[in-house]
Each structure stands twice: as C-alpha cells, then as structure tokens.
C-alpha cells in the first residue's frame, strides 16, 4: 500500500511540476513575441485533474508567432506543449521549420508576410502529420509543394503564387481542397489542377485567369468550383 501511495504522490508531483514549467515557458515565449491559445479554467476541471495539476492546467493547442524574436532552440522547446496549429507572421523562418516539423501533433501550419527559402521548406517533409498549409504573401524561393504529399488542404495567397508552383502540385495525391487568392496564375496553370485525382474543392479569387480553363474541369473529380473576380473575355 505504501508503494502505491508513494507512486501516486510521484505522479501528482510530476504533473504539477510540468504545469508550472509550462506556465513559466509561456511567459518567456510571450516576451519573445509568441502567444498561445490555451484553456485554464479550474472551475471546469474534475477533482482528479485539480489533484494532478493544481488550480491551473494549461491545455495549449495553438502558437502564434508575430514579429517574434525566436531561435531554432526556442522552437524545439515547444515540444513540451501539445501543439496542433502554428501560425508564423512577419517572423523570419530561417532555421525554424526543421524543429517545427518535429512537433508530434502539428497538423496545420500558417506562414504569412515573410520569406521562405527552399531549403527550409524541405524540412517540412519530416512532419508526417501536417495536413493543412497556408501561405499568405510569402516571398518564395522556388519551393516544391510536391515534397509534401501528405497535404490535404492548401491556401495560397499573393503574387509569388504562379503556374510553376501549381505544376508542383501534381505530386500531391491527397490534396482535397485548394484555395488561390491574388495569385499570378494563368488558365494554362489552373487547367493542370483538373488532373488531381483527390481534389474535390477549388476556390479561386482575384487572379488574371479568363475562364478558358473551366472546360478542363468538366470531367474532373472537382465537385465544388468557385471563381470570383475573374477577367471574362468578350465573345
């Protein structure tokens, strides 16, 4: 009995120590420009959870980098949180994606208003659970989207999105949803997307296409096709 009690006390102390460590880590990350979406409500916790974690438990699922001043080591230490979603805005990505790719539960990554080198992008191949990728106004260095065959949803915005990037999507066998906005793509480039066997939803907005590509989707697997602000050609 004494051994059982000792083991239970050890479990409780370890859980509380982890919670306290997370609290201090959050404060340090916030100082560097990283915020978290977390739930900390003792009144919704069960008696068992209060016993384990004390009055506060930090259930963190999302991290937001905004003009953050972080190092690869800082990102590596995020593994102490169970992060599903990471958003990086106006923050240099150099060296950060390799440790991000090691987050075991990461399934959604959003990158905006920054630069993204091809070498850094390739590091995301190690993130087997990544399903959703959002790139918004990112300066791209000839990245190859085909390097991430696990992707199911892509949201791409900005002048850096072109036909060459669309061509690299041919190696995305699991891509189901694609959103293109303010992209410098042509009808020829968009027509290639009709060959994606898993693609069933395509939304295009504010691009130079004229509509010549629409016929290409007549026999495709795309079931939801939305095109807004298209330059219609006169008959």
Instruction: Determine the Cα–Cα distance for residues 205 and 140; give it in Å rounded to an integer.
Output: 20
Residue 223 belongs to domain with CATH number: 3.80.10.10
In a domain, 99, yes or no: yes
In a domain, 169, yes or no: yes
What percent of the chain stands above pLDDT 70?
Answer: 78
Q: What is the pTM of this model?
A: 0.81
Q: Which pLDDT score, from 0 to 100, does residue 81 have?
A: 82
Instruction: Determine the Cα–Cα distance for residues 58 and 207; give it in Å rounded to an integer.
Output: 43
Sheet architecture: strand order including 153-157: 34-39, 59-66, 85-89, 108-112, 132-136, 153-157, 177-181, 201-205, 224-228
In a domain, 81, yes or no: yes
Tell me the pLDDT tens digit for each residue of 9-37. 444 434 444 455 656 577 788 889 999 88
Instruction: Determine the Cα–Cα distance for residues 30 and 72; give it in Å rounded to an integer.
Output: 16
Over residues 208-230, mean pLDDT: 90
Instruction: Determine the Cα–Cα distance for residues 185 and 212; give it in Å rounded to an integer.
Output: 13
In a domain, 17, yes or no: no
26-30, 136-140, 176-180, 217-221: which has the minimum mean pLDDT?
26-30
* Number of domains observed in the structure of the chain: 1
- Residue 112: domain span: 56-228
Q: Which pLDDT score, from 0 to 100, does residue 30 have?
A: 86
Residue 181 has pLDDT above 50, yes or no: yes
In a domain, 51, yes or no: no
Over residues 117-137, mean pLDDT: 94
Q: Which pLDDT score, from 0 to 100, does residue 22 have?
A: 57
Tell me the pLDDT tens digit for each residue of 132-142. 999 999 998 88
The alpha carbon dihedral of 159, 177, 198, 209 has a sign of negative
């Amino acid at each position: 009995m004494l051994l059982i009690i000792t083991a239970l006390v050890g479990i409780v102390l370890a859980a509380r120590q982890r919670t306290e460590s997370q609290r201090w880590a959050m404060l340090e990350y916030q100082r560097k420009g990283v915020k978290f979406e977390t739930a900390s409500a003792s009144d919704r916790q069960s008696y068992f959870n209060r016993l384990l974690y004390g009055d506060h438990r930090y259930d963190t699922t999302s991290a937001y980098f905004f003009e953050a001043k972080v190092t690869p080591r800082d990102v590596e230490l995020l593994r102490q949180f169970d992060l599903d979603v990471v958003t990086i805005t106006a923050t240099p990505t150099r060296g950060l994606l390799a440790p991000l790719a090691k987050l075991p539960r990461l399934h959604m990554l959003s990158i905006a208003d920054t630069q993204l080198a091809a070498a850094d992008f390739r590091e995301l191949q190690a993130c087997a659970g990544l399903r959703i990728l959002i790139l918004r106004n990112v300066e791209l260095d000839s990245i190859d989207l085909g390097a991430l065959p696990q992707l199911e949803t892509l949201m791409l915005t900005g002048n850096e999105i072109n036909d060459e990037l669309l061509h690299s999507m041919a190696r995305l066998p699991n891509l189901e949803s694609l959103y293109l906005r303010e992209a410098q793509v042509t009808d020829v480039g968009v027509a290639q997307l009709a060959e994606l066997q898993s693609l069933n939803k395509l939304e295009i907005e504010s691009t130079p296409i004229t509509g010549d590509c629409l016929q290409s989707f007549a026999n495709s697997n795309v079931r939801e096709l939305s095109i807004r602000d298209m330059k219609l050609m006169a008959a």
